[in-house]
Amino acid sequence: MTLRATTSQTVGPYFQIGLARFCVDDLTAPGVPGERIEIAGRVLDGDGEPIPDAVIEIWQADAEGTYPPEPDARETEGEIPNKDRKQSEKLAFRGYGRVPTGTDGTFRFKTIKPGRVPAPDGTLQAPHIAISIFMRGLLRRLVTRIYFPDDEANADDFALKLVEPTRRETLIAKQSVKQAGLLEWNVVMQGPSETVFFDV
Amino acid sequence: MAEFHGYRRPHPGTQPDHLHRPYVSSIKRAPTKPLVELPHTLSEVTGPSFDSSMIDVKAGDLTKQEKGEPVGERIIVSGRVVDEDSRPVRHTLIEVWQANAAGRYRHAIDQHNAPLDPNFEGSGHALTDEQGRFRFISIRPGAYPWRNHYNAWRPAHIHFSVFGPAFATRLITQMYFPGDALLPFDPIFNCVSDESARNRLISVFDWETTMCEHALGYKFDIVLSGRHSTPWENK
């Protein structure tokens, strides 16, 4: 008989106690190839008020469109000799980040622009970052994606095509007018510019 | 050509809706538009991993993180992380956090008038082993009031965060204690219609892991989404 997945529960207001250790706001590392980018934004509730107790998790491919291997795959590559270990850690792109929002609902992280990864229909997806959002008040995480402005590949993207055209822009970051190289992307929980969330 | 299997969607009634009116904070935070169903792609079937070099081996014992012993009833919480096909989820990161024995979190915004314990921080982490097993030593957390409704009290609970093998399997949940009189009144615990799903959030007192003259044992198993048996094939 198959089991059933455990029921999700809210992260609550005090998640910093348990989740702080594995917070990562800079996914880049020396030697990791790719275009350096910085993404910042705010998480806003149904009244447009900032949400100060949310946490965003990031998962993305490297600049070539390759996801870091699962631990099992790494094991079969064998032990890395100690002297080479530092070097290999330096080069390894982990693709993982976690940033809590501040008291003003803001978050910010540095990463590299991901490459394109395949879609189930055989096409290549446009560069994107997979996002999980947890907060007090949400019993279950929300999933969304960040896409990049002015990327031609967005027009034919597997996931964007599932979204009503008028709502697609909620998934696409914007160039900041305040700071060169900064992308802005907000998470709007409710209202006319409500962010598109995916059921995964 | 890469071939991969997507993960199963939840069984009806076993996962909460984002809007759950009795949980008042959900009203301004839950999306109002339907979610867009996304068939799993490589981005959802891969996920972050953590290896033993990132783990503090002492983080499995929450009673030994400060100079002295924390106040409260010592407990041992152990269990397995498995998928819906009962396969162990190996080497996955589990993070836990909880209130102290008096029902107070060591967090700036927790203003509950109950004592902090200088010997209890209330957080731990560990990787599951080859069989998906984990074990934490802690103290039993206290119940505490919250402002959801008049005279609202959260039943004693420990927060659990688990990654599993893929972005699609990410789970954050809470573990409760058997026989807690507050459970029937808690809107967070009572967020799903399936009674047996709710009851799986309640740990089970366990003689086998109870340590003589030292600590009570509680078992808590965590089940993550399993994989579909039919593969997607990328052409």
Distance from CA of B114 to the nearest CA of A (A): 16
Positions in chain A whose pLDDT score sits under 50: 74-87, 89-90
Point out the catalytic residue in the list B106, B159, B170, B200.
B159
Residue A122 forms part of a structural domain? yes
End-to-end CA separation in angstroms for chain A = 24
Instruction: Please give the single-letter amino acid code of residue A45.
Output: D
Residue A4 domain-assigned (yes or no): no
ipTM comes to 0.95
Task: Say if the Cβ atoms of B161 and A18 lie within 8 Å.
Answer: yes
b/e burial code for range A137-155 (CB count within 10 A of at least 16 → b)? bbbbbbbbbbbbeeeebbe
pLDDT in tens, B111-121: 999 999 999 99
Residue B23 annotated among the catalytic residues of the structure? no
Please tell me the total count of domains within chain A: 1
Q: Residue A54: what pLDDT?
A: 98
Ordered alpha helix ranges (H), A33-179: 71-76, 82-91
The vertex-A69 CA angle with B95 and B160, nearest 5°, equals: 15
Cα dist from A56 to A17, A93, A118, A119, B191, whole Å: 16, 19, 24, 24, 23
Q: Residue B153 and residue B186: Cα distance in Å, rounded?
A: 7
CATH code of residue A121? 2.60.130.10
Q: What tokens appear for B122 in the block?
A: 């209330």
Q: Which residue has the higher pLDDT, A73 or B203?
A: B203
% of chain B surpassing 90 pLDDT: 94
Residue B57 banded pLDDT, cuts 50, 70, 90: very high
Substitution target from B15, B24, B27, B29 for chain A, most A beta carbons within 10 A: B29
Q: What is the SS3 assignment for A175?
A: strand
Mean local confidence (pLDDT), B26-35: 98
Residue A8 domain-assigned (yes or no): no
**Tokens standing for A85?**
């270990």
Lowest mean pLDDT among A62-71, A176-185, B34-43, B217-226: A62-71
Each residue of A104-132: pLDDT tens digit?
999 999 999 999 999 999 999 999 999 99
Domains of chain B: 3-233 (2.60.130.10)
Q: Model pTM?
A: 0.94
Q: Which pLDDT does position B183 carry in this prediction?
A: 98
> Looking at residues B122-135, what average pLDDT do you find?
98
Handedness of CA A198, B2, B5, B7 (dihedral sign): negative
Q: What is the nearest CA distance from B17 to chain A, expressed in angstroms?
A: 7
- Which sign, positive or negative, has the C-alpha torsion B87, A140, B12, A195? negative
- The whole-angstrom separation of Cα B64 and Cα B81 is 24
Substitution target in B3, B17, B21, B46 with the highest count of A β-carbons within 10 Å is B46
Binary contact (B11, A45; C-beta < 8 A): no
Report how many Cβ contacts below 8 Å link chain A to chain B: 249
The mean pLDDT value of chain B amounts to 95
Whether residue A194 is contained in a domain is answered as no
pLDDT at B151 over 70: yes
> How close is the nearest chain A Cα to the Cα of B210, in Å?
24
H or E stretch covering B195: helix B195-199
Full residue range of the structural domain in which residue A179 is found: 16-188
Chain A hits for B20, Cβ within 8 Å:
139
Closest to A36 (Cα-Cα) out of A109, A119, A127: A109
B200 in active site? no
Which residues in chain A are contacts of B198 at CB distance < 8 A?
7
A35 falls within a domain: yes
Q: How far is CA A187 from the centre of its chain?
A: 12
| Confidence band, pLDDT 50/70/90 cuts, at residue B4 | low
**Cβ–Cβ under 8 Å, residues A138 and B26:** yes
CB contact under 8 A, B42 and A117: yes
Please tell me the predicted confidence (pLDDT) of residue A81.
44
Q: Is the pLDDT of residue B143 over 80?
A: yes
Angstrom distance (rounded) from CA A191 to CA B18: 15
